[in-house]
Structure 1
Amino acid sequence: MKTITTLLFLTIAITAFGQTTDTMKEFDPNFSHTVFFWLKNPDSQADRTAFVTSLKKFLDNSAYAKTKFIGTPPKASRDVVDGSFTYSLILSFDSAEAQQAYQDEAPHKVFIKESEALWEKVIVYDSQGI
């Protein structure tokens, strides 16, 4: 009886909190797009909120980005870690062509228009899988 209860509990927990095929987003190894943003006023909570709101709105409406990760720098414990940026964005695409279509889609252009006044520097690293 104890085993059945445990299995039932695990099944319910996995169903309630686990990924499903509808929500699962796997990293696509074909094309990676990594962007680092340095905000002009990184200590301004209003600027940070405006930036993240615009970025999330854009990503929620992007037809091409598969994996979508927004990050901030961790407290680095090693000299080789560059934590000077304010936000990072890591996206994956199924091809270089899909990434180019993402560059040209309306939500991306709206994001740039809404947020470009907030940043002082942007660096992009694109990579194709080997």
Structure 2
Amino acid sequence: MKRRNFVKTATTVVAAGSVAPALAGNFSEIDGTSGKPVVNHYVLFWLKEDLTEEQVEEFTGFFEMLRKVPGIRKFYYGKPADSKPRDVVDNSFTYNLMIQFDTLEALEVYGVHPMHMEAIEKYSHFWERVVVHDSELQS
């Protein structure tokens, strides 16, 4: 085998060997158990266009308040990725939030929890639109 082909083949094998376990690890981490569904609460926020950069950053306090609500299994938030534009990709939102719960009941408790209600009261004037997707994920 010529050196160039060997290097190309070896690089592909090493990359595949590194990526496959990492991907498998990420999917199993969604749940952490074998086959038990997890309830996923995914929220998109479109903040008002007239906010300053400081106000947009200040909005992260909303997430930090929510993070403290009991019953949450996993908690993530962030801004849209700078992915390549495609017809199916909508990166028009300002922030997204993903929270995972062990049960639908835990999600329902979170939904009316006083800390959740306080965060909404404190920060809802920042947004113009919110979309929520709740789902049960299988690993």
The 5-angstrom pairing of residues 101-120 of structure 1 reads 101-120=109-128
Residue 69 of structure 2 is matched in structure 1 by 62
Query: Which one-letter code corresponds to 1:119 in the other structure?
Result: W
Matched, 1:34 2:66: no
Separation in 2, partners of 1:42, 1:97? 37
Residue 82 of structure 2 is matched in structure 1 by 75
**3-state secondary structure, aligned to 1:41:** coil
Query: What's the offset of the Cα at 1:42?
Result: 6.8
**Sequence identity percentage:** 32
Residue 6 of structure 1 is matched in structure 2 by none
Separation in 2, partners of 1:41, 1:111? 21
Contact 1:54 1:111 in 2 (8 A): yes
Query: What's the offset of the Cα at 1:43?
Result: 5.5
> Please, what is the CA RMSD of the aligned residues?
1.6
Count of aligned pairs: 104
Query: Which one-letter code corresponds to 1:96 in the other structure?
Result: L
Residue 87 of structure 1 is matched in structure 2 by 95
Which one has a bigger Cα radius of gyration? 2
**3-state secondary structure, aligned to 1:27:** helix
Deviating above 4 A after TM superposition, structure 1's stretches of 4 or more consecutive aligned residues are none
Separation in 2, partners of 1:82, 1:109? 28
Query: What's the offset of the Cα at 1:75?
Result: 1.5
Pick closer, same or farther for the CA change 1:63–1:82 going to 2, 3 Å. same
Per-residue CA deviations over 1:45-85 (Å, capped at 9, x if unaligned) read 222122101221221x1102211000111112141211000
Q: Could you tell me the TM-score, scaled by structure 2's length?
A: 0.68
Separation in 1, partners of 2:98, 2:84? 22
Residue 47 of structure 1 is matched in structure 2 by 55
Contact 1:27 1:66 in 2 (8 A): no
